[in-house]
Structure 1
Amino acid sequence: MEDKRNIQIAENKFPLIEGEEQQIFLRTTYINYLNFSEGLAAQFFTGRNIEVQRNILRENFGLTDEDINSWESRATRYQMTSESFAFFLHTA
């Protein structure tokens, strides 16, 4: 039988921090997000492992191989792979 739990989700709640602590929290969150994004971008624009790129697009953006391949003609105009172009479109 499924384990059902009642988990209360706090909606529209910001962590209960104020002043300088809030600035530190926001700065840290922003930096971590940038580092994550730069890591993904580096993989797409310098890496050549197409399967890894396709897996990232499938898992993070819900794209299928058909969706990714549909951008191929446009991607070649910009001298990009269809994976890089799809990633660019979904993050820009």
Structure 2
Amino acid sequence: MAAHIAAGAAPHQEAWLWPCNQEAWGYWLGVQTQWNVGASGATGLRYEGVRAYLDEVGLQGELRQQVWAAVCACERATLQAWGELRDQQAH
């Protein structure tokens, strides 16, 4: 499964998603409305909103812990990538 990278990517750049990560990726996409955004851009996810979403979709137990860890990893990677893009645009 290929997912096109949105912000700042070349128009035809693809990122490949391992099949074992497809479920977590779906949950990641489900929390994209939960970003804290300030004057300098996004600063991280609103965890209370993420938790509410995970409650709403009925995730419990070990699967919920795994999805939470995956969402947090995606958040860190996204913030790092956005930071790198800002640095490139500043130069």
Q: Compare CA radii of gyration and give the structure with the larger one.
A: 1
Q: TM-score, normalised by structure 1?
A: 0.35
Using the size of structure 2 for normalisation, the TM-score is 0.36
Higher helix share: 1
Higher percent of residues as strand: 2
